[in-house]
Amino acid sequence: MSFRTWYESQKQTRKFHPGWIVMAVSGVLVVAGIITIPATLVAETAPPPAAAAPPAGTSDHGKVPGTDMPKVIEQTPDPARLRNAKTIQVDFSPPPDETMPTGEFGQAVRLGKAIFTDTQTYARQYVDNKLNCVNCHLGAGRKADSAPLWAAYGMFPAYRDKNKHVNTYEERLAGCFRFSMNGKAPAPDSKEMVALVSYSYWLAKGAPLGVELKGRGYPQLPKPQQKPDAARGKQVFEANCALCHGADGQGTEMSGRTVFPPLWGKNSFNGGAGMSKVKNAAAFVHANMPLGKGNSLSEQEAWDVAQYLDSKPRPPDPRKGKSF
Amino acid sequence: MPLSFIVAWIPGSRIRVLPRLARPPARITSLLAGVASITWVVTGASLAHADGLAGATLAQKGNGGTPACMTCHGAQGEGQAAAGFPRLAGQSQAYLLKQLQAFAGGERKNPVMAPIARSLSAAQMRDAADYYAGLPGWKQAGAPHTPSAQYAQGLKIATEGDWTKEMPACFACHGIAGEGVPPHFPALAGQPMAYTQTQLNAWRAAQRTNDPLGLMQAVAEKMSDAEIAAVSRYLENPSRPGKEK
């Protein structure tokens, strides 16, 4: 029996007209369209990933979007919510390393990662202590709550109280070299700076611009119940930190390379570094230390150990010339 | 009881070793006590320690009742890949000594090593640890690894970890090429796959608990079976960081 004869015979039954199937299917499609089309329009209002021009000035942005796009879990907030960007937190995951682009831009991204994880080798001339960027920005700048690069990138340019003017992202990185690395900043057009900005940009690929991403910076702790105390902090340090950082806080080196970073003294960050503020150190320690056991110290212990670190000598803030 | 008497006199013995060994005398315990007393009297701890060859003798000939270390750990302390016996050569003295004490004390549960460790005096433990710490550590033998997805996954875990689940890289603590960071972090490079795998499983199941601050347990409990297998495969013959494309 051919389809046509079946169709004609069914038409005659009065119980079932095959045209009903066509009607039902088209009805479903119309309803689905009403739901999905506006949703697509909303999704299109998200800033396209190429909205920020790459500082390296290259056209090679890697693979086709969609194949390796990082995941923004929450939809980009609507413009009304964006006005309160400070308080909005959007989930974001940076793209996996396997999707790093090729070509000139890819090389810049790779060099950026190399500088970031082994600053002592790849940006030697700009560093005057024994730290590497990755010591404070764990997971090669990826780890949430450890000042990840992908969350910082989209928040600049911004006004900073620290130097009372609007800072570009490059200037923000320059601050890291001057204070945290106790060195001098690479010029904005140097290959090191271009590489670091490229790496940051690539990690932030697909993240909304100018929006506070979840995991940015170090999660600030509420004020402690007791005033932070260096003597209590010393005990916390000896019980939990000295294992890797040494009782003298000077870290551990293996064949000339820093495995565990020095926390004070001439080989550590200087008095102008963000980490030299007790509240930042407490926040970092609480979220990330001991390595792999973040959030295991109590908040009070984190404040106390940060106070202990603050009681130790370090290179002076270059803006003040505080004595060592 | 002779054993507890001896243990109390062993230099540097831990207090918690005492109650464990002094438990109601199973047949094995008294046998061990006998062996230990004889060994103690015959060799004499200070004499053995003064002799630089004591560790080598233990390694190659054992100490009467105890088999020679090399029977399982290889003539050069290189381990036995097929059986999963670990490499000892080049491991730090402090780490090796701590493991012997942990086998004897039970923080590291191992039916083969426990009686052996308990048969050793504190000085003999030091001798054996000194000996193996003095042997050359693992060097990449030139035989390249077989590239595979598992190896690549292991490389990533060892060098980068996975911070999305708070899992640090192996090499963040065990040295930039897994060569170990004495005294607390042992060398991982060149260990037989079966050994690393067994240990990670033991950490994860809290059957091994002698890590400082519970650091290793905290990592292992985040690892899947596949990740444990991959990183154990990688560490058997790790490529040098930076040479891997």
How far, in Å, CA of A47 to CA of A76, rounded?
Answer: 8
Residue A174 makes CB contacts below 8 A (sequence gap 6+) with A185, A186, A188, A193
Which pLDDT score, from 0 to 100, does residue B38 have?
54
CB–CB contact B213 A290 (8 Å):
yes
Average pLDDT value for residue range B76-82: 91
CB–CB contact A240 B176 (8 Å):
no
**Short-list A46, A50, A69, CA closest to A60:** A50
* Residue B218: Cβ-neighbour burial (10 angstroms; 0-12, 13-18, 19+): buried
Which pLDDT score, from 0 to 100, does residue A81 have?
52
Which pLDDT score, from 0 to 100, does residue A42 have?
59
Q: Which residues in B lie closer than 8 A to residue A291 (C-beta atoms)?
A: 168, 172-173, 215
Residue A209, min C-alpha distance to chain B (Å)? 22
Which pLDDT score, from 0 to 100, does residue A50 have?
42
- Asked whether the predicted pLDDT for residue B104 surpasses 50, the reply is yes
Hey, is the C-beta of A240 within 8 angstroms of any chain B C-beta?
A: yes
Tell which A residues from 83 to 102 touch B, by Cβ distance under 8 Å: 93, 97
pLDDT tier at A324 (50, 70, 90 boundaries)? very low
The CB density around residue A19, as the number of other CB atoms within 10 Å, is 11
Cα B148 to chain centroid, rounded: 28
Using CB atoms, pick whichever of A240, A257, A294 lies closest to residue B213: A240
Hey, is the C-beta of B186 within 8 angstroms of any chain A C-beta?
A: no
Residue A104 makes CB contacts below 8 A (sequence gap 6+) with A56, A58, A60
Which pLDDT score, from 0 to 100, does residue B35 have?
56
Query: What is the tens place of the pLDDT at every residue in A45-99?
Result: 544 444 444 444 344 444 444 455 666 665 555 555 555 555 668 999 999 999 9
Q: What pTM does this model have?
A: 0.75
CATH of the domain spanning B2-134: 1.10.760.10
Hey, is the C-beta of A247 within 8 angstroms of any chain B C-beta?
A: no
Hey, is the C-beta of B218 within 8 angstroms of any chain A C-beta?
A: yes
**Short-list B232, B216, B241, B189, CA closest to A291:** B216
Which pLDDT score, from 0 to 100, does residue A70 have?
61
CATH of the domain spanning A55-203: 1.10.760.10
How far, in Å, CA of A232 to CA of A298, rounded?
Answer: 13
How far, in Å, CA of A227 to CA of B233, rounded?
Answer: 49
Average pLDDT value for residue range B58-68: 85
Mutation for testing the B interface, residue in A293, A297, A305 having most B CBs under 10 Å: A293
**Which neighbouring-strand residues pair with A167?**
A158
Same fold? A55-203, A230-310: yes
Query: What is the tens place of the pLDDT at every residue in A262-319?
Result: 999 999 999 999 999 999 999 999 999 999 999 999 999 999 999 999 999 999 999 9
Q: Which residues in B lie closer than 8 A to residue A292 (C-beta atoms)?
A: 166-168, 215, 218-219
User: With contact defined as beta carbons under 8 Å apart, do B97 and B10 qualify?
Assistant: no
Query: What is the tens place of the pLDDT at every residue in A175-210?
Result: 999 999 999 999 999 999 999 999 999 999 999 999
Pair of tokens at residue B216: 């290793």
pLDDT tier at A41 (50, 70, 90 boundaries)? low
Domain boundaries, chain B: 2-134, 149-236
Lowest-confidence range among A20-24, A175-179, A236-240, B148-152? A20-24
Using CB atoms, pick whichever of B181, B215, B218 lies closest to residue A254: B181
CB–CB contact B164 A252 (8 Å):
no
The more confident residue out of B64 and B198 is B198
Q: Is the peptide bond before A79 cis (omega within 30 degrees of 0)?
A: no
Residue B236, min C-alpha distance to chain A (Å)? 21
Which pLDDT score, from 0 to 100, does residue B27 have?
65
User: With contact defined as beta carbons under 8 Å apart, do A243 and B185 qualify?
Assistant: no
Closest residue in chain A to residue B242, using alpha carbons only = A114
Q: Which of the four CATH numbers 3.30.70.920, 1.10.760.10, 3.30.110.30, 3.20.20.70 does domain B149-236 have? A: 1.10.760.10
Query: What is the tens place of the pLDDT at every residue in B212-224?
Result: 999 999 999 999 9
pLDDT tier at B15 (50, 70, 90 boundaries)? very low
We find that the CATH architecture of domain A230-310 is Orthogonal Bundle (1.10)
Q: Where are the alpha helices (DSSP H) in chain B?
A: 2-9, 17-21, 27-43, 45-50, 54-61, 70-73, 93-105, 113-119, 122-134, 149-160, 171-174, 193-204, 215-220, 225-236
Same fold? B2-134, B149-236: yes
Domain boundaries, chain A: 55-203, 230-310
DSSP-derived letter for residue A316 is P
CB–CB contact B213 A294 (8 Å):
no
Hey, is the C-beta of A259 within 8 angstroms of any chain B C-beta?
A: yes
pLDDT tier at B116 (50, 70, 90 boundaries)? very high
